[in-house]
Amino acid sequence: MLSFKNIAPFLNTGENKASRWLSYIGLGIGVLLLLCSVQMYININELLKNKSPKKNGFDFIAITKNITDENMVGNHSFSASDLAELKQQKFLDDVSPLIGNKFVIDANGGSMLPFSTDFFAEAIDNNFLDTLPSSFKWAPGDQVIPIIVSSDYFEIYNTLFAPSRDLPQFSEKTIASVFIQLDCSGNGFKDSYKGNIVALSDRINTVLLPKSFLEWANKKYAGIENFNPSRIYIKTKDANNPELLNFLQQKNYHVNKDKTKFGRIKQVLQAIVSGLAGFGVLVILLAMVLFSFYLQLMIAKSKENLQLLLTLGYSPQWLSKTVAKKWIPVYVAVVIAAVLATALLHWSFQHFFMKDKEELSPFIHWGVIAIALALLVLSVVVNFRLVKKLLYKL
């Protein structure tokens, strides 16, 4: 069977070696940059995907509207359309407004806790609570109001407030035995209730009362039944989702940056990696263009010899395949070298720079190998079609 070796003397390949080797080197660098970028992208996702604490696989984040010097006198509450827009976002699993008291609440601890202060409280849907005791409920006529307090507030009381006021300190168990008096007033009414701390919350930094009480009390003591909330809690599977962060930024919503710091780091790193991948693709394209120039020049210089082969009866299809096969081993060698270099760089990163080596596999991702095979097939196909096109012009 005839092969490339049989027709090699008819091709003028002795010149333009610089162009040929530059195209090989450029292709290798481009493939290496692209494969390394893909592996780095995968590594970033693996390292940052579990960096935010979750409850049952979800993140719960409070958002508010940004207050600046320019909009201080404006309305910073969330309208019904704002809530509807949030609920329509595919990266959010649920949304719940925090309802605040619109009436005056005075709290005092009686003889056991000799202090008196203005009191603020909020309420939220129960499915957003991380601790929900069975006693956290209220109905009109009840004189005892269950309270859930932020764990941070409880710690501040025990470590700062109580020692400075010579007040007793409490454990999480003993605080449940303490009752405080809540005096609610407004709209011509004034009533007293007993407040009892029934649980602590690690998720929501506020003082929580049952939603049924605050809705009823706002209507009675403030004459308000429906109003726009100033704070919203969102439930999402990934607080570091770039789509979520971009949405919050576009809407000028404020969020605790500590909750989403890894997402912002992820965005920056992914932008850098995407830039490297784009540069790698550009280098590959330039290498393919340079190689096409080399092929055109080679075939142009071998025009008479190739026409002679066609006259002798060699078909253009067979001749195209035979000439194109010459560079298949080169493409295979370039792609294999790039894959091996990517594997070596990934192993070095995992072995020398990762303290917890179990977070990353020492082997490159199968997606990197799939992209390498796709680039190999693409190079061979482009090479064959280019040779075929040039030979059919003879």
- Name the residue ranges covered by the structural domains of the chain: 4-50+263-392, 59-237
Instruction: Please give the Cα distance from 202 to 200 (Å, whole number).
Output: 7
Residues 48/262, Cβ–Cβ less than 8 Å: yes
User: Any idea what the Cα angle at residue 322 is, between residues 316 and 327, rounded to 5°?
Assistant: 130
Q: What is the DSSP string of 21-40?
A: HHHHHHHHHHHHHHHHHHHH
Q: What is the DSSP string of 322-340?
A: HHHHTTHHHHHHHHHHHHH
Contacts of 377-380 with C-beta under 8 Å, sequence gap 24+, read 379/27, 379/288, 379/331, 379/335, 380/324, 380/328, 380/331
Residues 291/27, Cβ–Cβ less than 8 Å: yes
Digit-coded pLDDT (tens) for 347-394: 888 877 765 556 678 888 888 899 899 988 888 888 888 877 777 666
Scan for tokens 């270099």, then name that residue.
Answer: 341
Instruction: Please give the Cα distance from 276 to 19 (Å, whole number).
Output: 24
Collect all residues with Cβ–Cβ distance below 8 Å to 225 and sequence separation of at least 6.
215, 218, 219
Dihedral over Cα of 294, 300, 305, 309: its sign: positive
pTM here is: 0.59
The pairing of beta strand 144-150 with beta strand 189-201 = parallel
Spell out the per-residue pLDDT of the chain, length 394, in tens: 455 555 555 555 555 567 677 778 888 888 888 888 888 888 877 776 655 444 566 888 888 888 766 556 567 789 889 999 999 999 899 999 999 999 999 998 876 777 788 888 999 999 999 888 999 999 999 999 999 999 988 998 889 888 888 888 888 888 888 888 999 999 999 999 999 999 999 888 899 999 999 999 999 999 988 888 989 999 988 777 778 888 988 888 888 665 555 555 666 676 777 788 888 888 888 887 877 777 777 777 767 777 777 777 677 677 777 777 777 888 889 889 999 999 998 888 887 776 555 667 888 888 889 989 998 888 888 888 887 777 766 6
Instruction: Please give the Cα distance from 89 to 343 (Å, whole number).
Output: 38
Scan for tokens 């939603």, then name that residue.
Answer: 211
Hey, how many other C-beta atoms are within 10 angstroms of the C-beta on 326? 17
Distances (CA, A) of 360 to 45, 52, 333, 353, 354: 10, 18, 28, 11, 8
Dihedral over Cα of 256, 261, 267, 268: its sign: positive
AA letter at 226: N
